[in-house]
Chains A and B, each alone.
Chain A
Amino acid sequence: MTGRRLVLLSSGAVLSSLLALGCSNEGDAADTAPRTSPVVATDPAMSAEVPRIAATLFFASPDGRALVPVLREVALAEGLVPQGREILNAQLQGPPPPYGPVMPAGTQLRAFYVTERGDAFVDLSFATDARHIGGTSAELLAVYAIVHAVTANLTTIQRVQILIDGREADTLAGHVDLRRPLEPDMSTVRGAGGAR
């Protein structure tokens, strides 16, 4: 019963997040098909008995110009940090078609934790043969996909800092400043009043 209530509450929060992000924006002529209306994808590996919530994940739009919010069912977890791990693991698994990945294949979540100030830390590791493609635009998509995946679903978190292999990093590929926690940047998300 408690779990079921949590599922409903979480889904409500996700829907609120989507409304806030303006996913139902219909006047954006620059959008390319398919529309970015939420698509609920299910992880095939997940047991039917596992309680789930619909989380908002962020992947590259099919035209590669922006992030788009994509709904995906993830396992319900007890508590902020375990739920954050579930969401981030789903984010790192990659997108359903036709959306594009923003992180190199094989990127792993090493740790996720939240400070008393409400800043979240996402500790990532990359496969040894994997490399981010670079470029400011691709790097912005990669970084803010993580930031938004956390802040859109865990609404008490305002800022996210990305660590690499347990350490503070300058950048992912030479551009976006990772030395401080980042606030959401909706200009990277299509339909949120920013990206076209």
Chain B
Amino acid sequence: MRGSAIFSLAALLLLLAPTPQAQEGTAPAIPLTLLSPDGRGPVPTLVLNGAELIALDEVSDRFGVTVRDDALAGGITLTYNSQTVVVSNDQPMASVGGRIVALPSPARRLGNRWFVPLELLPRALGPIYDSRIDLRRASRLLIVGDLRVPRVTGRIDTIGPPTRATIEIAPAAPVSVTTEAGRLVVHIDADAVDLLLPATGGGLIERIRGGELPMTVAFDLGSQAGVARGVPTEVDGVTRVAIDIAGPALAGAGSTPGGAETPPAPSVLPPAGAAVAPLLAGPRARLETIVIDPGHGGDDTGVMGSGATAEKTIALAVAQRLRALIETRLGIRVILTRGADQSVSLDERAAIANNSKADLFLSLHMNAAPAASVAGAEVISLRLDREGEDARQVAAREAVSLPVLGGSLRSIDLIQWDLAQARHVDASAVLAQMLEEQLRARVTMSSRPRQRAALRVLAAVDMPAALVEMAYLTNPEQAQLARSENFQTSVAQGIYDAIVAFRAYLEVQAAP
């Protein structure tokens, strides 16, 4: 009888016992992501009876917290920097320095592990931890440390057309807006973003979503979308980007049956947001200023050839001849980076060109080789490595809009100052080709007449640029030739002809 009662009790307990799944909890639909200055990564959690729990051994590992069972206190004690948190194992609360903090559930023991509600981290551990702990439940982020993780919300304001939408970034963060085929992308300068975007689009916006690149929000535009613009403003610590998507342009607008052009119809967009031409565009259509850079100078003699022929001397002589040719025949302003035998740093040379907003930069040099037989002129443009290519792509992709007098915005391209040439490598390659072609008609070219190389003086100039090695001073015959007026005039004439050809190229490029 007694044995039967024990059996019945055991069977009853078995029936009443929770199912394995309920006992172990379930993984959340979207894993929690931990963001810290060390990087980002998933944090394993489980959901049990509606509360999301994290294992205390995870907390111990990730936060350097000492954990121990505290039977006397009726819970678990977490210690960090000599401060303690006591988590109750039967009440949904914890004690932090004598202050009671409410939690969604008590600590739970599952198998041989203790689990606590996620809220314990910001509410109980946060006050004693030496870095900020921020739990963003909606976006599934656990942020540890002083990271810039603004909350980004989006909404459709007007279906339109024009369709208007707003992105709000709180706290405020610098943004830039770019447009590409079928998309408008808002780039947010932050360590991460906490995106809360509408599930559906509206009007000419098919969808608002996180972009392919980190820290971006992409607006996918419908096939009927016209011009798309985004205008950022900052008010009360919140950045707002007002997005305007114009409707399709009307066919035939702007012309009359008689063929005479009429002023275009007023834009459906407010003029205050109208962007003007970029400050720093590619090569300009006209050559107005040319900077000629005679290499070396002062204590830096450059290559010393036979007969005490110094590179710095030949470079300056040819530069002066070239300047005279350009100014007298083309009427173009010419600036020399040095007009005498003086030292000028490579940064100063680039600064002279950039500050004078030159349209062309030419650096003149004499060459050297380990063997005396090497001869001939060479033209070199900048070779980009991966970093330079990245800089070029960033410059092509990103621009910031800054307000200017009159209430409009001016788009400014951004690029690393010492890689400014990255935006001009294609135009510079064309220039190098023209220099090679024109010099070939007048002087001996080397067996490698045109090259690309990581040359310091070219890297920071923000305009089409090339370096001309006019001859090899390590070749005795070329050293003697280089001193001659005939050679110097021939080189100057060849370069001049290339400038004329390049000017024509720019005009063709600019033609509608």
Question: Using a CB–CB distance below 8 Å, which chain A residues touch chain B?
Answer: 30, 60, 62-65, 100-102, 133-138, 140-141, 159, 170-171, 174-180, 182-183, 185, 187, 195-196
Nearest residue, chain B, Cβ from A59? B370
Given A136-B380, A137-B469, A174-B346: A187 in contact with B456 (beta carbons within 8 A):
no
Q: Provide the residues of chain B in CB contact with A178, threshold 8 Å.
A: 456
Q: Provide the residues of chain A in CB contact with B473, threshold 8 Å.
A: 135
Nearest residue, chain A, Cβ from B347? A170
Name the contact of B370 in the complex, choosing from A64, A159, A179 (C-beta under 8 A).
A64
Pair B383/A185 contact, Cβ less than 8 Å: yes
A135–B467 CA distance with the chains assembled, in angstroms: 12
Q: Which 9 A-B pairs have the closest CB atoms?
A: A64-B371, A135-B368, A100-B370, A60-B370, A177-B456, A135-B367, A64-B370, A134-B303, A64-B369
Given A133-B303, A171-B346, A183-B386: A64 in contact with B373 (beta carbons within 8 A):
yes
Q: Provide the residues of chain B in CB contact with A195, threshold 8 Å.
A: 448
Q: Which of B372, B456, B457 is packed against the most chain A CB atoms within 10 Å?
A: B456
Closest Cβ–Cβ distance, residue A187 to chain B (whole Å)? 7
Pair B385/A134 contact, Cβ less than 8 Å: no
Mostly, the B contact residues are: mixed
- What 1/0 flags go to B442-469 for Cβ under 8 Å of A? 0000011001111111010000000101
Nearest residue, chain A, Cβ from B380? A136
A195–B448 CA distance with the chains assembled, in angstroms: 7
Nearest residue, chain B, Cβ from A62? B371
A133–B370 CA distance with the chains assembled, in angstroms: 8
Pair B371/A185 contact, Cβ less than 8 Å: no
Pair B368/A183 contact, Cβ less than 8 Å: no
Given A140-B453, A170-B456, A180-B385: A63 in contact with B373 (beta carbons within 8 A):
yes
A141–B447 CA distance with the chains assembled, in angstroms: 16
Pair B456/A63 contact, Cβ less than 8 Å: no
A-B CB contact pairs (8 Å), 5 listed: A65-B371, A135-B473, A137-B472, A174-B457, A180-B387
Q: Is residue B48 contacting chain A, with contact meaning CB distance below 8 A?
A: no
Q: Provide the residues of chain A in CB contact with B386, threshold 8 Å.
A: 183
Q: Provide the residues of chain B in CB contact with A135, threshold 8 Å.
A: 302-303, 311, 365-369, 469, 472-474
Nearest residue, chain A, Cβ from B374? A64
Mostly, the A contact residues are: loop
Closest Cβ–Cβ distance, residue B146 to chain A (whole Å)? 24
Given A134-B303, A137-B374: A175 in contact with B369 (beta carbons within 8 A):
no
Given A140-B453, A176-B454, A180-B385: A134 in contact with B302 (beta carbons within 8 A):
yes
Question: Using a CB–CB distance below 8 Å, which chain B residues touch chain A?
Answer: 295-296, 300, 302-304, 311, 346, 365-374, 378, 380, 383, 385-387, 418, 447-448, 451-457, 459, 467, 469, 472-474
Given A60-B371, A62-B371, A102-B370: A136 in contact with B453 (beta carbons within 8 A):
yes
Given A135-B472, A170-B456: A179 in contact with B374 (beta carbons within 8 A):
no
Q: Provide the residues of chain A in CB contact with B370, threshold 8 Å.
A: 60, 64, 100-102, 133, 138, 141
A159–B459 CA distance with the chains assembled, in angstroms: 18
A21–B367 CA distance with the chains assembled, in angstroms: 26
Q: Provide the residues of chain B in CB contact with A63, threshold 8 Å.
A: 371, 373-374
Name the contact of B367 in the complex, choosing from A30, A137, A171, A183 (C-beta under 8 A).
A137
Q: Provide the residues of chain B in CB contact with A101, threshold 8 Å.
A: 370
Q: Provide the residues of chain A in CB contact with B311, threshold 8 Å.
A: 134-135
A159–B454 CA distance with the chains assembled, in angstroms: 13
Pair B373/A171 contact, Cβ less than 8 Å: no
Q: Provide the residues of chain A in CB contact with B451, threshold 8 Å.
A: 187
A194–B180 CA distance with the chains assembled, in angstroms: 37
Nearest residue, chain B, Cβ from A175? B455
A60–B472 CA distance with the chains assembled, in angstroms: 16
Name the contact of B371 in the complex, choosing from A100, A159, A175, A187 (C-beta under 8 A).
A100
Given A170-B456, A187-B451: A179 in contact with B418 (beta carbons within 8 A):
yes
Nearest residue, chain B, Cβ from A60? B370
Other 4 A-B pairs with CB < 8 A, given A136-B455, A138-B367: A63-B374, A136-B365, A136-B453, A187-B451
Q: Provide the residues of chain A in CB contact with B383, threshold 8 Å.
A: 185
Closest Cβ–Cβ distance, residue B284 to chain A (whole Å)? 26
Pair A196/B454 contact, Cβ less than 8 Å: no
A135–B454 CA distance with the chains assembled, in angstroms: 14
A136–B382 CA distance with the chains assembled, in angstroms: 12
Q: Provide the residues of chain A in CB contact with B295, threshold 8 Å.
A: 174
Name the contact of A176 in the complex, choosing from B304, B385, B456 (C-beta under 8 A).
B456
Name the contact of A136 in the complex, choosing from B300, B378, B385, B459 (C-beta under 8 A).
B378
A30–B385 CA distance with the chains assembled, in angstroms: 28
Closest Cβ–Cβ distance, residue B206 to chain A (whole Å)? 40
Nearest residue, chain B, Cβ from A143? B454
Nearest residue, chain B, Cβ from A63? B371
A101–B370 CA distance with the chains assembled, in angstroms: 7
Nearest residue, chain B, Cβ from A134? B303
Given A65-B374, A171-B346, A183-B385: A133 in contact with B455 (beta carbons within 8 A):
no
Q: Provide the residues of chain A in CB contact with B368, threshold 8 Å.
A: 133-135, 137-138
A177–B452 CA distance with the chains assembled, in angstroms: 13
Name the contact of B453 in the complex, choosing from A65, A176, A180, A183 (C-beta under 8 A).
A176
Q: Provide the residues of chain B in CB contact with A176, threshold 8 Å.
A: 453-456
Q: Provide the residues of chain A in CB contact with B380, threshold 8 Å.
A: 136
Q: Provide the residues of chain A in CB contact with B385, threshold 8 Å.
A: 159, 180, 182-183
A159–B387 CA distance with the chains assembled, in angstroms: 11
Closest Cβ–Cβ distance, residue A59 to chain B (whole Å)? 9
Q: Provide the residues of chain A in CB contact with B454, threshold 8 Å.
A: 176-177, 180, 182, 185
Closest Cβ–Cβ distance, residue A95 to chain B (whole Å)? 10
Q: Provide the residues of chain B in CB contact with A100, threshold 8 Å.
A: 370-371
A182–B454 CA distance with the chains assembled, in angstroms: 9
Nearest residue, chain A, Cβ from B458? A177
Q: Provide the residues of chain A in CB contact with B452, threshold 8 Å.
A: 187
Q: Provide the residues of chain A in CB contact with B459, threshold 8 Å.
A: 177
Pair B456/A179 contact, Cβ less than 8 Å: yes
A176–B300 CA distance with the chains assembled, in angstroms: 15
